[in-house]
């Protein structure tokens, strides 16, 4: 596993300043990521402080651990979702927090290194899940493009990103999956490129941009 992060948090110093951190504080970081925020948080809260880092992505959590090897604050790393904040704090024996940080969305590490199909520029399995190995019941991009009915696919493409050519793309997906399963990101990219008009394929924005964004949101 590559423990070097390529992700640079946006507005890092402004975010840390906005948390108004001080010595001895207990801080919950719901999206630990590559540890970009964590390093500065630990510096601010010092040896008496407690950093609680949470992430569904095990690789991201390992990068955060690596980034905080020499940090002096108390550190807890939990593989899970920030939506389970209450149960996580109960297990940690923490009754109250001084600050919380939620840096929502995916990171450059997930685009560049995850191998889970977040980017249309790499030929990878269609997952788009923050989990490295999704449990059987967890939704993936593969499930969406291969099993969702037409109405649900249209709902995703129209409502999440206002894709102008959603009907053409959905019809192309349905036609393609009748012949074979849509397995990879490049399979999906080829379908999208074949569905949209030529001027879209030649435009500045990649024709798969909105569809990938919308499916990531659905996952």
Residue 132 is predicted with a pLDDT of 64
Residue 64 and residue 78 in contact, taking contact as beta carbons nearer than 8 Å: no
Pairing status of strand 26-29 against strand 99-101: parallel
Closest listed residue to residue 31, CA positions, set 99, 107, 97, 112: 107
pLDDT at position 32 over 90: no
Closest listed residue to residue 191, CA positions, set 177, 209, 210, 206: 177
* pTM of the predicted model as reported, rounded to 2 decimal places: 0.62
Residue 206 and residue 159 in contact, taking contact as beta carbons nearer than 8 Å: no
Report the C-alpha gap between 177 and 86 in whole angstroms. 42
Task: Report the length, in residues, of the chain.
Answer: 219
Residue 105 is predicted with a pLDDT of 66
pLDDT, tens only, 157-178: 988 878 999 999 999 999 999 9
Residue 119 and residue 188 in contact, taking contact as beta carbons nearer than 8 Å: no
pLDDT at position 3 over 70: no
Which percentage of the chain shows pLDDT scores above 90?
Answer: 57
pLDDT at position 64 over 60: yes
Residue 52, Cα to own-chain centre: how many angstroms?
A: 19
């Amino acid at each position: 596993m590559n423990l070097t992060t390529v992700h640079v948090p946006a507005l890092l110093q402004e975010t840390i300043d906005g948390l108004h951190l001080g010595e001895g504080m207990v801080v919950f970081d719901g999206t630990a990521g590559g540890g970009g925020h964590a390093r500065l948080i630990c510096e601010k809260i010092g040896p008496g402080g407690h950093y609680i880092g949470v992430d569904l992505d095990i690789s991201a959590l390992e990068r955060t651990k690596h980034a905080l090897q020499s940090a002096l604050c108390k550190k807890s790393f939990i593989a899970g979702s920030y939506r389970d904040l209450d149960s996580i704090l109960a297990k940690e024996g923490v009754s109250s927090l001084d600050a919380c940080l939620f840096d929502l969305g995916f990171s450059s590490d997930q685009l560049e290194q995850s191998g889970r199909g977040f980017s249309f520029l790499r030929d990878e399995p269609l997952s788009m899940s923050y989990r490295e190995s999704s449990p059987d019941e967890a939704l993936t991009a593969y499930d969406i493009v291969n099993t969702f009915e037409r109405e649900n696919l249209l709902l995703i493409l129209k409502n999440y990103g206002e894709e102008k050519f959603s009907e053409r793309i959905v019809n192309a997906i349905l036609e393609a999956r009748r012949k074979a399963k849509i397995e990879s990101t490049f399979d999906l990219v080829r379908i999208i490129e074949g569905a949209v008009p030529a001027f879209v394929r030649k435009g500045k924005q990649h024709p798969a941009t909105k569809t990938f964004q919308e499916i990531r949101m659905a996952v």
